[in-house]
Structure 1
Amino acid sequence: MDDMMPLMTRATERTSGLVRAVPREQFASPTPCAEFDVKGLITHLEWVAELFESLGRKGPYVEQGSYAGDFPERAERTLASWSRREAWDGTDSVMGLPMTALAHMYLVDMVVHGWDLAVATGQPYEPEPEAVSRALAFSERMAETGRQRGVFGPQVAVPDDAPEFDRLLGVIGRDPAWTA
């Protein structure tokens, strides 16, 4: 918890800033996350925040709803739920994973979907190196499971000496060279 919460917080704050800066005129723009346009991606982020808030409180699985326009507020509640020490204890009853694994899943979502949104809307984005390192290590361990569960796409080949962030994108199925 002590090393993950600061990473989760800063990644969430970066992504919240990106969401706040998206004008409605860009809602129909494509994103590197092929199943979502910009509005769909923000809706997905709202669901991620709501789901992980519930999971952090040992609550039930939450279904994705419609766009509400409140991602930053939901994300603040998520961080509040994970800031409680007991959120990190044990295994979650919904996915059957250790709570630390769920925290890493959330971090991956914030870091990668932040990039998705930034490149889709032409915003600058520089993820925190430590968050990228943690997300990459976790994603490499979980890649096959992620693909089986449909949360990662087919791996995109990137050079072995590519920056860590490009390797993270490739592992989860994103092309680091994607442009709108």
Structure 2
Amino acid sequence: MQLHAVLVRAFAGTAAVVRGVTPEQLGAATPCADWNVRALTNHVLQVGSALRLAGRRAPFPDDLWTRDLIGADGPADRFEDDRRDALEAWSEPAAWDGKIDMGAPMTAPEAVTMLVSDLALHGWDLAQATGQEYLCDPAVAAVTRDFVAASGEQGRQMGIFGPALPVADGADVFDEALALSGRARR
């Protein structure tokens, strides 16, 4: 499957969760120890914004990863706007050429793979924290599992992933991705 189609599906799965976040839930704890629902939702918005900017080859603002993007009307409209613009940008074949500076230069497919994985894992985290179901598309799950398998050790050193957990017999691909990132279904 083309990576653009995977991106479409990753955005769809996470958008459904973002739309379900209520103002009353913003202070609730999440599986991400340092983030409550507000901070995690904001990070998901930052990822959407990064995908939009990267697809347009627009420079990332210095404060992208610290900026509060939720706004007075909540997160859903902002995420939808970035989703729509990012998917339009990435639908252009030229968007997939060249390098993107994500703190270090990456090919466009590498950057999208990383950010798709971020959408999937944090979409799941947000769903867990807000009592929602996260439906991970099988292609998104496979990209996420492969990304975490390849970058897991570096991610653990950076504090992004927890220690890998054992994968249960018969686990699906997304459960494998969750376990490799230090997460497990309850």
The bucket for the TM-score relative to the shorter chain is: 0.7 to 0.9
**Residue number in structure 2 paired with 1:97:** 106
Q: Distance in 2 between matches of 1:153 and 1:91?
A: 29
Which segment is superposed worse, 62-71 or 80-89?
62-71
Q: Distance in 1 between matches of 2:156 and 2:99?
A: 22
Amino acid at match of 1:128: D
What TM-score, normalized by structure 2, do the two folds share? 0.85
**Residue number in structure 2 paired with 1:155:** 164
What TM-score, normalized by structure 1, do the two folds share? 0.87
| CA displacement, residues 76-101 of structure 1 (integer Å, 9 cap, x when unaligned) | 22222222211111222342111111
Amino acid at match of 1:61: F
Q: Distance in 1 between matches of 2:182 and 2:143?
A: 17
Amino acid at match of 1:84: E
| Offset of residue 14 of structure 1 | 1.9
| Offset of residue 161 of structure 1 | 4.1
**Residue number in structure 1 paired with 2:150:** 141
User: What's the C-alpha RMSD, in Å, of the aligned pairs?
Assistant: 1.9
Q: Distance in 2 between matches of 1:60 and 1:150?
A: 26
- The ranges of structure 1 where at least 4 consecutive aligned residues each deviate by more than 4 angstroms after the TM superposition are none
**Residue number in structure 2 paired with 1:37:** 36
Taking the TM superposition and a 5 Å limit, the aligned residue runs for 1:70-85 are 70-85=78-93
Assess if the C-alpha contact under 8 Å between 1:42 and 1:71 holds in 2.
no
Gaps of 5+ in 2: none
Call closer, same or farther: CA 1:151–1:83 in 2, change over 3 Å.
farther
Which segment is superposed worse, 140-149 or 94-103?
140-149
Call closer, same or farther: CA 1:119–1:97 in 2, change over 3 Å.
same
Aligned length: 176
Q: Distance in 1 between matches of 2:41 and 2:161?
A: 18
